[in-house]
């Protein structure tokens, strides 16, 4: 029986849940896939991708720290990869050239809209952090026509640069954590990596009101510190990034195979308590 080859490439990689998620999608499609983890050293990314393609590999997910180099190496890019300046999904054309996509933003949007039933039109959105993940989610968020997106970051210059880069796509402002308007936002997205260090960015408590939805891009088997912090402030809803992870994977799977998996059973597999 055909065994279609896919993989996720990164460093580190052994923690990745992508093989589990994609195997569950393949079961739904009733095909056999061989989905491996590829650990690549910093200077061996390109070589590893070429070797994978030469072994019959059909598609790759790309994770930290290779999303930017993947963007630089792809010969074709979709709209979201172009805007993000980063690629998390590679497919190969018939001439073996690389086609890059970025599904992180669509993953977040699909989780917010389809799974969490949040409409972003006319909403006031605060994003904490101005790294690669923020760059990846800005275009799809702005396409939902919020009132504004305010980006707050520890290094203010990075927030300013992102606001400038995306200014033609909608109303977008930037500041440092201590300059955030003291008002409750409709949606607060934590796109810093502070949760990974069990830290919450130093932001005023009153950005969270009774109607505020809080979303941490980070995820873990235990609630993140940001989730605990927002619950303590009685946010309307506190959501972590596991849904985004599954939805970005589903979009990658669709790009590779033209099959759109049902993500609900996969969410239940990873979060059996829900
Ligand atoms: P980057 O390294 O590109 O950016 C990190 C950001 O976090 C920067 O803005 C940095 O600020 C800020 N930061 C780091 N530590 C702190 C701290 N202690 N206090 C305040 N700010 C801090 O990371 P990414 O953008 O790639 O990833 C961000 C998060 O998103 C990670 O938790 C990652 O796991 C998650 N993610 C989740 C996905 C999903 O599918 N759920 C997909 C992609 C990412 P400064 O600029 O000042 O250094």
pLDDT one-digit tens code per residue, 20-29:
999 999 999 9
Which residue in 56, 54, 20, 61 sits closest to 38, CA to CA? 61
- Range from 142-146, 177-181, 213-217, 232-236 carrying the lowest mean pLDDT: 177-181
pLDDT average, residue stretch 195-208: 93
Residue with tokens 């200014």: 167
Give the N- to C-terminal CA distance of the chain in Å, as an integer. Answer: 35
Confidence of residue 196 (pLDDT cuts 50, 70, 90): confident
Q: Is the pLDDT of residue 63 over 80?
A: yes
pLDDT score, position 195: 86
Q: Is 203 in the pocket of ligand 1 (CB under 6 A)?
A: no
pLDDT average, residue stretch 137-146: 96
- Asked if 241 and 215 touch (Cβ cutoff 8 Å), the reply is yes
Mean residue pLDDT across the chain: 96
Distances in Å between the alpha carbon of 36 and those of 5, 14, 54, 114, 181? 8, 10, 15, 29, 46
Q: Is the pLDDT of residue 273 over 90?
A: no
Q: Which atom of ligand 1 is nearest to the CA of 195?
A: 32
Q: Which atom of ligand 1 is nearest to the CA of 241?
A: 41
pLDDT score, position 181: 84
Catalytic residue IDs: 67
Q: Is 249 in the pocket of ligand 1 (CB under 6 A)?
A: no
Confidence of residue 274 (pLDDT cuts 50, 70, 90): low
Q: Is 192 in the pocket of ligand 1 (CB under 6 A)?
A: yes
Give 99-140 pLDDT, tens digit per residue.
999 999 999 999 999 999 999 999 999 999 999 899 999 999
**Alpha carbon of 217 to ligand 1 centroid (Å):** 9
Q: Is 217 in the pocket of ligand 1 (CB under 6 A)?
A: yes
Q: Which atom of ligand 1 is nearest to the CA of 155?
A: 47
Q: Is 244 in the pocket of ligand 1 (CB under 6 A)?
A: yes
Q: Is the pLDDT of residue 226 over 90?
A: yes
């Amino acid at each position: 029986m055909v065994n279609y080859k896919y993989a996720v490439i990164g460093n580190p990689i052994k923690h990745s849940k992508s093989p589990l998620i994609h195997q569950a999608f393949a079961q739904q499609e009733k095909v056999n896939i061989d989905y491996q983890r590829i650990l690549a050293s910093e200077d061996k990314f390109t070589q590893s991708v070429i070797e994978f393609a030469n072994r019959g590999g059909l598609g790759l997910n790309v994770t930290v720290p290779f999303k930017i180099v993947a963007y630089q190496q792809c010969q074709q890019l979709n709209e979201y990869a172009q805007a993000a300046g980063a690629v998390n999904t590679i497919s190969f054309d018939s001439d073996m050239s690389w086609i890059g996509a970025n599904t992180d933003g669509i993953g977040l949007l699909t989780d917010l809209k389809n799974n969490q039933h949040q409409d972003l039109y006319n909403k006031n959105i605060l994003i904490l952090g101005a790294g690669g993940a923020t760059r990846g989610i800005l275009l799809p968020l702005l396409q939902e026509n919020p009132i504004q997106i305010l980006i707050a970051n520890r290094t203010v210059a990075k927030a300013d640069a992102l606001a400038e880069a995306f200014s033609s796509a909608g109303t977008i402002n930037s500041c440092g954590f201590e300059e955030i308007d003291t008002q409750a936002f409709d949606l607060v997205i934590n796109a810093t990596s502070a949760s990974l260090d069990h830290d919450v960015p130093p932001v005023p408590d009153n950005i969270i009101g009774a109607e505020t939805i809080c979303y941490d891009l980070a995820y873990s088997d235990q609630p993140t510190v940001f989730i605990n912090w927002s619950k303590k402030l009685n946010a309307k809803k506190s959501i972590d990034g596991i849904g985004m992870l599954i939805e970005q994977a589903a979009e990658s799977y669709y790009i590779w195979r033209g099959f759109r998996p049902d993500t609900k059973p996969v969410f239940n597999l990873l979060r059996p308590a829900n």
